[in-house]
Chain A
Amino acid sequence: MPITFHLKRQPSVPLESEVFSPDVMAELTNTEIRALTIYHGKRQLPISDFFDVEGERSEDLVMHGAMHKVRWIGRAMSRGSITVHGTVGMHLGAYMKGGRIEVHGNASDWIGAEMKNGFIHVHGNAGGQIGAAYRGSMQGMKNGTIIIDGSAGLEVGMRMRRGTIIVGGPAKDFTGLQMKGGTIVLMSGAEIRTGAWMNRGTIISLKPLQLMPTFVRSVDASPMFVNVLAKNLKSLGINLPHKASEGTYRQFAGDLSVSDKGEILVWQPVA
């Protein structure tokens, strides 16, 4: 039986609640969970002030409600799962080390920021800085997978090192900014400055992109690893075209202001 939370009143200011993590709750009784501290602005309050709590001692959490002001859910979690029915606020799964987060609804900025591993799937739209490094830090996500079915904001995958981010809807500017490794898949393209200052890593777009002037076109071909990636994504229910009969990937290298080891692949379907 999972532990279930229902938001019973809307917080008036952000509710910082990093205790919503299987690592914290897995061994606790219902009473102990109700008493865990969350921060309503500067006030420390028990979870039960804002949530109805059912269940206890479980690695699986289920949350219901319009929680766009609830921040830091799943912070640094290493196991178990969190399922959200509704919206969530910033920093969902930031610093995550393992486990699974699924959101049936919209999420905000900094999803999976600086995460080390784990899996996050947002079925709705997301904000910016997905899998990114926090300001000043050089280390974005190190591993793991983030899937956004809807749109995404600015700086998706900023300074990421490894791992995979898949965005179903359109992304905004600076996708893959200063990327150092890993893969970003854009199913519906992105606005401008995609891959700016990228050092290494791969950005795949199924829609045409307006590229930075500091990228050079190399070849039109589907590299081997796209096949491997497509196979992996298939198991996640994502269809990445890769067959030569369907089209090819136009490859670009850059960002020349930094390096020529980053690559952007843009899908060219057979007309």
Chain B
Amino acid sequence: MLRITGGKVYDPANGIDGVVKDLCIDDQGLFVPAVEGGRTIDATGMIVFPGGVDVHTHVAGGAINFARAMTPEDHRRTQAFIRTKSRRSGLGGMAPTTFATGYLYAGMGWTTVNEAAVPVLSARHTHEELADIPIVDKASLTLMANNEILLDQLEKGEFERAKQVLAWYLWSAKSYGIKAVNPGGVAAWKYGHDAKQLTSPIDGYSKLTPGVIVTHLARICDELGLPHPVHLHCNNLGAPGNISTTIDTLKHLEGHRAHIAHSQYHAYGGDGWDTMCSETAQLAEYFNAHPSITTDAGAVLFGDTVTITADGPWQHLLYKLTGRKWGNLDVENETGCGIVPYTYRPSNLVNAVQWAAGLELLLLIKNPWQVFLSTDHPNGGCFWRYPEIIELLMRADVRKESLLKLPDGIKGKITLPEIDREYSLYEVAISMSAGPARALGLFQKGNLGLGCDGDVVIYEEDENVRKMFGHPRYVIKGGEIVLEDGEIREAPSGREFIVKPPCDPGIDDFMRPLFEDCYTMSFENYPVEMERIHNPRMQDCIEVPR
């Protein structure tokens, strides 16, 4: 039991903007009106936020684990967590180890993370890794947009069947929702091609286009009532002039809920690397006019990182551009992924545009409930650098100073210098917690209301925004004080959110022959057993209004 008194509370889910208010958490780790006994934290003069929620990150699974193996040189120079009686050892850096991931997230007040790209085939592996990420609660999204069995159904126009196939896959993976990456493009990459046009048929299909996949996946997510809508990584990531693809994709989504992942990478104008510029104004305008669509920034921070994405063709291009290490994974007929270490440099015009574009989106999309803090960890930057982004959002003068580091050629390519908006604490609380929680359909998260999960982060008010958000005074997860005075005190294991969509019982018989025809493992071994999920928490499906 825990009482937090005297703090200035920011709880956007309940419209509370900096009101001094007491919070109580009971033995179940939920907010209640009052408690008897237990510890009291005197938060007088401090700032109280709901625990952070990361809507899009890559912290577990085959791809990030491949990245870990590829970057020993980074592990050697990064933060090292020393083993104690209650804490495991680990390494931070570009691709942190599992235990360190939990400590680093909790260390800056994040208590829920969404692993955004899991192939069903490696779901068993991903769940094992997620179980080794302490403190934070987790959800995971299943990669669906390049699954051959599903694409075959869509090609045949069998929509109902496709919906059942998807539900079957989702439950087999014990996942929380659907991620679509470069629809059709990853499938084509298996033969060295890509899918760039939304309305052109994909390699190996006669009618099926990326546009058809996008529309149908969005519709399926709505009809199944998944709490999180389709989580879409658009085609043509990172390419100059891709804004037209992105807007085109958004038009294919009209009438449905959708979350657009890391939209910074999809908001470029120009027709080559020399002319590449930011087209965030155009994208932001679309978001401003369509309130049912959410996005996360996928902001870029200058420095070293490792890029990981299911977008295999893009990664091969990046490998050729940089001449650095490259790893590629193909996951049978489901998806694939590429891994390339990368350094974003302010002196590089393309990187400078990317850096500005991420911030522009966060600032130009007016409604903070629509655009969330993310770096698409580790692609744009490491998650433990979020406080740097918060500072850039809250302080126009810091932005101005950073702009001075950019090359002269940046003029006319970005709009950031003209933007004066500064985030208030209330808006930061939406962007890092309440907003992503709502978009994920995790109504018990990012919310300090009664009955919600007792995840709280308490900051000492500080002029230095980066320091304040980087070093919370207390972090409370499910009513337990996990961090105090900069030290991880407890490392409880977190829970995993899972959705069981309605599924036709006959679908097994339909899937079996198709499955046995093209997979290399037995049908019975494919679905992840429920016993393998540590601390599962079932989340209900919802009714999505048409």
Q: Which one of B70, B73, B76 contacts A138 once the chains associate, using CB atoms below 8 Å?
A: B73
Task: Check B72 for interface membership: any CB of A closer than 8 A.
Answer: yes
5 residue pairs, one from A and one from B, having the closest CB atoms? A136-B72, A137-B73, A136-B73, A135-B72, A136-B71
Residues of A within 8 A of B73 (CB): 134, 136-139
Within the complex, the shortest CB–CB distance from B67 to chain A, in Å, comes to 12
Within 8 A of A (CB), among B56-87: 70-73, 76
Report the interface size class on chain A.
under 10
Within the complex, the shortest CB–CB distance from A116 to chain B, in Å, comes to 14
Within the complex, the shortest CB–CB distance from B475 to chain A, in Å, comes to 30
Smallest CB gap from B324: residue in A:
A138
Residues of B within 8 A of A138 (CB): 73
Smallest CB gap from A137: residue in B:
B73
Known: A136-B73, A137-B73, A139-B73. 10 other contacts (CB 8 A): A134-B72, A134-B73, A134-B76, A135-B72, A136-B70, A136-B71, A136-B72, A137-B72, A137-B76, A138-B73
Smallest CB gap from B75: residue in A:
A136
Complex Cα gap A179–B73 (Å): 18
What 0/1 readout, one digit per residue, does chain B (375-393) give for beta carbons within 8 Å of chain A? 0000000000000000000
* 13 examples of A-B residue contacts, CB within 8 angstroms: A134-B72, A134-B73, A134-B76, A135-B72, A136-B70, A136-B71, A136-B72, A136-B73, A137-B72, A137-B73, A137-B76, A138-B73, A139-B73
Residues of A within 8 A of B76 (CB): 134, 137
Within 8 A of B (CB), among A123-167: 134-139
Residues of B within 8 A of A134 (CB): 72-73, 76
Residues of A within 8 A of B70 (CB): 136
Residues of A within 8 A of B (CB): 134-139
Complex Cα gap A135–B76 (Å): 10
Complex Cα gap A136–B71 (Å): 6
Residues of B within 8 A of A139 (CB): 73
Within the complex, the shortest CB–CB distance from B450 to chain A, in Å, comes to 49
Complex Cα gap A103–B123 (Å): 54
Within the complex, the shortest CB–CB distance from A190 to chain B, in Å, comes to 26
Complex Cα gap A135–B72 (Å): 7
Residues of A within 8 A of B71 (CB): 136
Residues of A within 8 A of B72 (CB): 134-137
Complex Cα gap A134–B71 (Å): 11
Smallest CB gap from B73: residue in A:
A137
Complex Cα gap A135–B71 (Å): 9
Within the complex, the shortest CB–CB distance from B82 to chain A, in Å, comes to 11
Within 8 A of A (CB), among B73-104: 73, 76
Q: Which of A134, A135, A137, A139 has the most C-beta atoms of chain B within 10 angstroms of its own C-beta?
A: A137
Smallest CB gap from B83: residue in A:
A42
Q: Which of A134, A136, A139 has the most C-beta atoms of chain B within 10 angstroms of its own C-beta?
A: A136
Complex Cα gap A138–B76 (Å): 13
Within 8 A of A (CB), among B318-360: none
What 0/1 readout, one digit per residue, does chain B (493-518) give for beta carbons within 8 Å of chain A? 00000000000000000000000000
Complex Cα gap A48–B335 (Å): 59
Complex Cα gap A6–B76 (Å): 31
Q: Which of B70, B71, B72, B73 has the most C-beta atoms of chain A within 10 angstroms of its own C-beta?
A: B73
Complex Cα gap A138–B71 (Å): 11
Complex Cα gap A271–B41 (Å): 89
Within the complex, the shortest CB–CB distance from A255 to chain B, in Å, comes to 16
Residues of B within 8 A of A135 (CB): 72
Within the complex, the shortest CB–CB distance from A62 to chain B, in Å, comes to 30
Within the complex, the shortest CB–CB distance from A144 to chain B, in Å, comes to 20
Complex Cα gap A139–B72 (Å): 13
Within the complex, the shortest CB–CB distance from A12 to chain B, in Å, comes to 22
Residues of B within 8 A of A137 (CB): 72-73, 76
Within the complex, the shortest CB–CB distance from B68 to chain A, in Å, comes to 11
Complex Cα gap A138–B72 (Å): 11
What 0/1 readout, one digit per residue, does chain B (387-413) give for beta carbons within 8 Å of chain A? 000000000000000000000000000
Within the complex, the shortest CB–CB distance from B89 to chain A, in Å, comes to 12
What 0/1 readout, one digit per residue, does chain B (452-479) give for beta carbons within 8 Å of chain A? 0000000000000000000000000000
Within 8 A of A (CB), among B5-33: none
Within the complex, the shortest CB–CB distance from A243 to chain B, in Å, comes to 41
Complex Cα gap A269–B70 (Å): 46
Complex Cα gap A138–B70 (Å): 12
Complex Cα gap A137–B73 (Å): 5
Within the complex, the shortest CB–CB distance from B94 to chain A, in Å, comes to 12
Within the complex, the shortest CB–CB distance from A199 to chain B, in Å, comes to 11
Smallest CB gap from A139: residue in B:
B73
Complex Cα gap A98–B71 (Å): 28
Complex Cα gap A138–B323 (Å): 12
Smallest CB gap from B72: residue in A:
A136
Complex Cα gap A178–B70 (Å): 18
Within the complex, the shortest CB–CB distance from A140 to chain B, in Å, comes to 12
Complex Cα gap A139–B73 (Å): 9
Complex Cα gap A22–B71 (Å): 31
Complex Cα gap A137–B74 (Å): 8
Smallest CB gap from A138: residue in B:
B73
Complex Cα gap A138–B341 (Å): 12
Complex Cα gap A241–B71 (Å): 42
Within the complex, the shortest CB–CB distance from A138 to chain B, in Å, comes to 7
Complex Cα gap A156–B70 (Å): 23
Within the complex, the shortest CB–CB distance from A176 to chain B, in Å, comes to 20
Smallest CB gap from B74: residue in A:
A136
Within the complex, the shortest CB–CB distance from A172 to chain B, in Å, comes to 23
Within the complex, the shortest CB–CB distance from A66 to chain B, in Å, comes to 29
Smallest CB gap from B71: residue in A:
A136
Complex Cα gap A137–B75 (Å): 10
Within the complex, the shortest CB–CB distance from B496 to chain A, in Å, comes to 32
Complex Cα gap A134–B72 (Å): 9
Complex Cα gap A139–B57 (Å): 30
Complex Cα gap A259–B264 (Å): 37
Within the complex, the shortest CB–CB distance from A245 to chain B, in Å, comes to 44
Q: Which of B70, B71, B76 has the most C-beta atoms of chain A within 10 angstroms of its own C-beta?
A: B76
